[in-house]
Every structure is written in structure tokens, then in C-alpha cells.
Chains A and B, each alone.
Chain A
């Protein structure tokens, strides 16, 4: 009996990536700044076609591999598949580079734009942390074998997510700063932050289950709710994201580009600009935000996020 989860993962990622070219800003094509109407030209069509052919070819290969490979190796298939897809994106990015245009050098900022705050205030971001702290202290005194490492890892992950939510609001670059486009962008940023904060609450639950020995159906309900929340947020972010409702708002004669220069984007995926004070910028491929790897704080954040996931994998009770 083949393992289903690698196959489902590959198919879900493919479904999202198939539509990726139309989910990003109209003036960004495979990570390259282009004229707004470029996507409809004869030069763009073969590139989109080539990208999709390679993507689906990789999907067929990955699904076949997941079916025929032994159970021990099959879980590695999605990781290898994603690396190959990144290579696909990088190849098409290189093909798009000759069509790049210089982004506008004139930058406009609305001095009276409303200040942005965490939805519900800082307490909403801190509640899971406080809860886990209290739970850890309680378990130290009441459990025969307290899983302190589990509580600490969950608390650390919540802290990193809280920092990320704060970073999206306060350390990221605004692309549009006036008019309807700015209002839509604020709404999009608010949804991203709400999603990150929701994740914090979901992360705080498994240690709670562990501490209170909750029945199995509660864990299943948690899994189902998590899946629903992720799907709902992905759909919501697609509609409010770079290629969603913001597309029409941004078309009001705004200059091409996302306020970052093409030369600082490596393969259209990684942003590296030490001269840019922004810690986060909007992704050029995909929806949401990415780190400015030219900023030392970004590396610290990455180490924090990757480190904790490794720790969780190592110490989590099976």
C-alpha cells in the first residue's frame, strides 16, 4: 500500500504553483519587473507554458517515485520535488530577465497614513506564550514526567511567530502608500498577520493536550480545524493578495515594480539588499512576505525558525 501523504502534498503544491503566475503582481513576471501588460504578450506565453510543462512533468515523476519507492524513502519525495520546482522557477526567471524594465525611481509616501497595529493588540500575540509558560510551570509540579522541552519548543515557536507578525506590520516595506491600493494593501497585511497569530494558538494546543491527557477525538478535531483554517486563509490571501483584489486597485497608473530593484533578487526568490532597511518585503513569487537576507536580523530570525523546527522534530514525543 503506497503512502498517501507525499502524493497529496505534491498534488496540492502543484495545484497552487500552476496558478502562481497569475497570483502575483501584474508588473512582476517570474520575479522580474516588467510592464503591466507584458503577461499578455507573445513573449510571455511560451515562458508560462514551459513553466507549467516542467511543473507537471515533475509532478508525474514525483507521484511515480512516491508510488514505487520503499516506505522509508517516500517521505523525502515532496522535499526533492520542491527543490526541483525551485529550479524550474529559477530557469524561467532567467528567461524573463531580458524583458525587465527599470523600476520607478520616484517614491511617494503618505505622511498621514493610519498607523497599523496587531489585530486585538499585543496581548493577543502574547496569550499563547503566557499560557504555555503557565502550563510548563504547572506540569513541572504535577506531572510525573514533565515534557518541559515540548512546552519550551512550542513557546519558542509562538515567540518567533509573534515576532514575525510584528515584523510584517512594522519592519516591512509598503508597496502602495496612497489611495485605494494602499487601503487594500493594509487589508492584505492585516490578514497575513491574523493568519500568523492564528497559527500561534494552534501551536499552543498540542502541549495542552499532552498536559491534560485529552481524548483522541479532540486531537482529530484540532487537526481538522487547523486544515480548515489553513485552507480558509490561503483562499483569503489569494483574493486579497498581490494578484487578487489589489491588482485592480494598483492599476491606477501606479509606477511599475514593488519598490525593490531586480538586481537584489536572486532567482526571483531570495531578496538580498544590505542597503535596504526593510527586514521583510513582499514576495515576488507567491503570496505574502519574505526576508531581506541582506539584513543580519533576517538570518537571526531564520535560525530561530529553522532551529526550533529541528528541535521539535528531535524531541517531540512520538
Chain B
């Protein structure tokens, strides 16, 4: 299961690690019980500071995805889907997507190709 980060991206590396792992967790590419690389190992391979990886692991642990222990390292854990305020979630989600769309348009991405990409993602979401 590959995790990809871009050192030239505007997105902080810590966030790229969190996002990349979360996508793999949500899609089931990483299952409960799977062990993740130790903080030191992942930091060495990505060429980032240990704290960056540790921060990313802690964030995912706080979301309930990972179990971090001194003895068994970092493991994916069985996570209950939280029952949140649906209206609040919808509004937050929409705001985030609208923000991303605005960001991409500001960078010169064409509206048509952006719409095509959103349709492709929606299709993939419905299939899973």
C-alpha cells in the first residue's frame, strides 16, 4: 500500500500523511490489525522529521483509526463510525469542497475538467 507525499506541495507534509492514510483506511486498503511502519522508519523513508510523522499518527489516533502503543507499535484499529450532527457535517463538508473548488479555479483549472473530476469521484464513491 503506497503512501505518496510531495515535498513541493503547499499542503504541509503532516497533513499529506494524514490525508493519504485516511484515504487508505476509508477505502479498506488498510484493515484493522494491520501494522503501520514505526515513526522513525516512516520519517526516514519520507525524509521528514520524526515529529511530523508522530503528529500525523496522533491525529489519526485521535480520530479513532490507530492504536499507538510502546510495545506493539502503530496498528490500525476497528473504528466505530461516529454519529454526528448531520446538518453540521453537511455544511462543513460543503464548505470544504467549495473552498477546494475555488482554490483550483484560482490556480487556473478549467471548470469543465474540475466538474469531470468531481463526477468521476462521485461515481467511484457510489460504486464502493
B47 & A259 in contact (Cβ 8 Å cutoff): yes
Q: Does A25 contact B (CB under 8 A)?
A: no
A109 & B3 in contact (Cβ 8 Å cutoff): yes
B7 & A107 in contact (Cβ 8 Å cutoff): yes
A156-200 at interface with B (beta carbon < 8 Å): 170-174, 177-178
**CA of A172 to CA of B44, assembled, Å:** 7
Q: Does B37 contact A (CB under 8 A)?
A: yes
Within 8 Å CB of A259, what residues of B?
Answer: 47
Known: A173-B45, A278-B44. A178 touches B2 (CB 8 A): yes
B7 & A111 in contact (Cβ 8 Å cutoff): no
Residue of B nearest to A105 (CB): B8
Q: From residue A30, how far is it (CB to closest CB) to chain B in Å?
A: 23
Indicate which residue in B4, B24, B34, B41 contacts A107 across the interface (CB closer than 8 Å). Answer: B4
Within 8 Å CB of B8, what residues of A?
Answer: 105
What number of residue pairs across chains A and B have CB atoms under 8 A from each other? 65
**CA of A178 to CA of B30, assembled, Å:** 16
Indicate which residue in B7, B9, B34, B44 contacts A171 across the interface (CB closer than 8 Å). Answer: B44
B7-62 at interface with A (beta carbon < 8 Å): 7-9, 21, 24, 30, 34, 36-37, 40-50
> Size range of the interface on A?
20 to 34
Within 8 Å CB of A275, what residues of B?
Answer: 49
Residue of B nearest to A103 (CB): B7
Indicate which residue in A108, A109, A170, A277 contacts B50 across the interface (CB closer than 8 Å). Answer: A277
Indicate which residue in A110, A111, A178, A276 contacts B47 across the interface (CB closer than 8 Å). Answer: A276
A278 & B30 in contact (Cβ 8 Å cutoff): no
Q: From residue B68, how far is it (CB to closest CB) to chain A in Å?
A: 15
Q: Scan A247-280; emit 1 where CB is below 8 A from any B CB, else 0.
A: 0000000000001100000000000000111100
Q: Does B90 contact A (CB under 8 A)?
A: no
B44 & A106 in contact (Cβ 8 Å cutoff): no
B30 & A111 in contact (Cβ 8 Å cutoff): yes
Q: Does B1 contact A (CB under 8 A)?
A: yes
Top 5 closest pairs, chain A to chain B, by CB: A105-B8, A105-B7, A111-B1, A109-B45, A108-B4
A-B contact pairs, 30 of them (CB 8 A): A105-B8, A105-B9, A106-B4, A106-B6, A106-B7, A107-B6, A107-B7, A107-B45, A107-B47, A108-B2, A109-B42, A110-B2, A111-B1, A111-B2, A111-B21, A111-B24, A111-B36, A111-B37, A112-B1, A112-B34, A172-B44, A173-B45, A173-B47, A177-B2, A178-B2, A275-B49, A277-B40, A277-B47, A277-B49, A278-B44
Given A109-B46, A172-B44, 20 new contacts (CB under 8 A): A107-B4, A107-B7, A107-B47, A108-B3, A109-B3, A109-B37, A109-B42, A109-B45, A111-B36, A112-B1, A113-B37, A170-B40, A171-B40, A173-B47, A177-B45, A259-B47, A260-B47, A275-B49, A276-B47, A277-B43
